[in-house]
Structure 1
Amino acid sequence: MPAARLNLSLPLVQAPMAGVSTPAMAAAVCEAGGLGSIALGASDAAGAAAMIADLRARTARPFAVNLFVHAAPHDDGERAAAWIDALAPTFAEFDAVPPTALRAIYPSFAEDDAMLALLLATRPAVVSFHFGLPGADRIAALRAAGCLLLASVTSPAEAAAARAAGIDVLVAQGIEAGGHRGVFDPAARDDALGTLALVRLLARGPVPVIAAGGIMDGAGVDAALALGAVAAQLGTAFIACPESAADDAYRAALMGPGAAHTVMTRAISGRPARCLPNRFTALGERLAAAVPAYPVAYDAGKALNAAAKAVGETGYGAQWAGQGAPLARAMPAGDLVRVIAGEMRGKAA
């Protein structure tokens, strides 16, 4: 990642976490010398425009925006109906009924022309992709607009595809990472490479690599750089910051004993994602019905969480977190960046 181009004083990227990252968080990270990020994948173009405007009102420094590039789910009404039926008893526990049908609630950037038009008009310094790669025409348009392009990859094969597509920087996401796995094809075999192995494999190539997964402090950033990465991406480390959009239950769970026992689940959204153990992850382990594709399953997951929260039950949220979660610290995002910088220099926090 060309630090000079982005004017970074610290090789640290705050991960774009949909539902957690905010313009305030990203701005604080940018102002402290790192690269702040906002997630646009769960928003439409109008919402994305508002977030970008909010962020630009807070900082003049470069920042990143992130898009989901998932394959459009096939219409499998029978699987969705079976999943609704499987969840119905749990909805009933909260005196609620499940949706009668499920929708693909998040459009893929691969097909979102309005989002592309917004990015070409606003020209954020960095655009990153998760779940896959957009078409060559979109990549060419963003490059022509001056955007530095990043893509999450979980394997050497995905990295090769990203390099061939013209991606500028690879985000090597190890199995330790919280939230959704960035696998291009969730139905394919996942070798579940850890951050250490994946970064070393990819750092031998010609494209710069950012290490992501399990990194929470200055020692972790130093280790990523020693492995050959040009920067480290931290997500879980920022969840407890006051600028985070995480609710009180999420924050409490992050600081609780479950942080040491994160689990990978498809039940909440339809794609594998690392989460704090809660009632939803336990339910997913019990249900025999096949989970619908992402983001169709997420429509049901969000409805169940809303029904549970309406009666005070907070154990059905998407409480994403990585394996380094026990190292989380609750402090303002800018202060956290400065503490990490001090740790990298060997100073006491």
Structure 2
Amino acid sequence: MKTCPNCGSKMEADVNFCTVCGTNIKDVPLDGAQPVEQPAPQVPVNPQPQPQVKAEPQQIQSQVQPSQQPQSTDSNTIQSEQAASQPQSSQPQSNQQPQQINDTFSKVSSQITTAVKNFDKESLWKWFVTSWKTPSAQQQGEKWYGIATLLVEMILFSFAGMSAIKKITYEKVSDQVATSDYSGVSQYIQNKITQLVHGLGFDLFLFVFISVIGLIAASYFINKFVHGKTVSVFDYINKIVQLSNISVFLVIAISLVLFMNPMNYKLAFFGLLTLVNWLFIFACAFCIKDGPETNRDYFYGVILYIIVMVVIVFIAWEIVKGQMVSQFQSILNVDISPYLDLMKMLGLQ
């Protein structure tokens, strides 16, 4: 065997030119033999094949193959990728859409499964306890803590509201038919009342949902307006919920009153409801103050937030009002729009 003095490649004894770099190795001694003292060959920086010496066809082929083999492999890979992509592009779009939906559903299911496996109830409980003891403390929690807490509170309040609406409606109808229980109400009227209660329960949830989402969005973007930049949306929601987390007990208390009968505890019901609303509003306003830097005065941000809050509540009420009027009209054939005029309810007309 010979060793190329230029690149160090091993060659057979009868090879005269290095098949890797093209260096003349005709006079290079075999490995293990005593080299003959001779001047070191001058190797050019960019070695070129010697024009006066004709290489054998096998040598030329061995020199060319190492450089051409990756190109052919790449071309084959590209052709195989193109061939694999052609059937997908030729498929109808109607067949691709169910596949995309299934893929999306699989990804969401995988994320939910991962979240359930990584659920740490001790960490969640610690987050709740810290928010009750020191609402403004800096603490880290999972992104879904705030959203999950709000959803549970809204769903609990909506179900309790449905129960209260059903009891009040049956009491009013029972007074009309001169009976003290629900047995005197016909099955037809009971079905109508049930249908109406379910619709009003959804309207109650819709009003709370639009109001909460609107207030959070207003606080978030006004915070960005004041400070120039802000944290992620999920961290911002966690901060708002952390400040107002005492409302968990208040919502539970309101739900108990609604399940029993709000007509017997009107003062407690409206007092707790007002306290929950203002606690959440103050939490959203307080979060506007926190930020990395200040471009504008925080006080003007709060004023802008109050204006936006009034607009959001008005829009949410008008949306739910239209739903309620439509439900009463279609189920009971009664127009209740005069009783839901917001200006008259606030005493402005």
TM-score by shorter chain over 0.5:
no
Which is helix-richer, 1 or 2?
2
TM range (shorter): under 0.3
The two structures have a TM-score, normalised by structure 2, of 0.20
* Structure with more contact order per residue of length (Cα contacts < 8 Å, sep ≥ 6): 1
Larger radius of gyration: 2
Which is strand-richer, 1 or 2?
1
